[in-house]
Amino acid sequence: MKNSFLLSLVFVLLSFQAGASSLEDSLTSAYISAMKDVTVKVETSKFWWIGTTHGLYCIRKKNGRISHFTASNSVFPSSRISAIAVMSNGEVYIGTDKGIVRYDNYSFLLINKENSRLSCNEVVDLRTRENILEVITTCGRTALFHPGYQ
């Protein structure tokens, strides 16, 4: 399953570069069968972020370079990605079932209930409003974070 998803992802990039109107169109039309693995996708000015049940794919727009982050090869506490949110300052927050990972354009930082105000590590959704990150967990509680602060 993992290899077929990677091949599909590469084909999506080729389709996108060949003239598809957006990454969303490419993903939707060409890979409906692989979509069951995709949990969330977000586009920023430099990257496409694709969360899956087996890790996070970060695709650099400039050169198409694909990085795959999992619990076994990175600071990610889990490979099950549940949410992605991008703050106005460019910070990317990735929710998992075992905490949050923040990317500040240089490095990744793990945020969980042991080192922050999170009451529960299992993230259901991440939302941004004004310059605040809203974290929804399975505990039903919401935590608010300002960029650069845990």
Phi, psi at 24, each rounded to 5°: -55, -45
Question: What are the angstrom distances between the C-alpha of 132 and each of 10, 44, 87, 128?
Answer: 34, 18, 8, 6
Distance CA 69, CA 84 (A): 14
pLDDT tens, residue order, the chain (150 aa): 455 555 555 555 545 544 445 555 554 444 444 445 888 889 888 999 999 998 999 988 888 888 999 999 999 999 999 999 999 888 999 999 999 999 988 999 999 999 988 889 999 999 998 788 899 999 876 767 765 554
Distance CA 51, CA 23 (A): 14
CATH superfamily of 37-145: YVTN repeat-like/Quinoprotein amine dehydrogenase (2.130.10.10)
- Which pTM value belongs to this model? 0.76
DSSP state for residue 97 in the 8-state scheme? T
- Phi-psi label, residue 143: left if phi above 0, alpha if psi -120 to 50, beta otherwise: beta
What ranges do the domains of the chain cover? 37-145
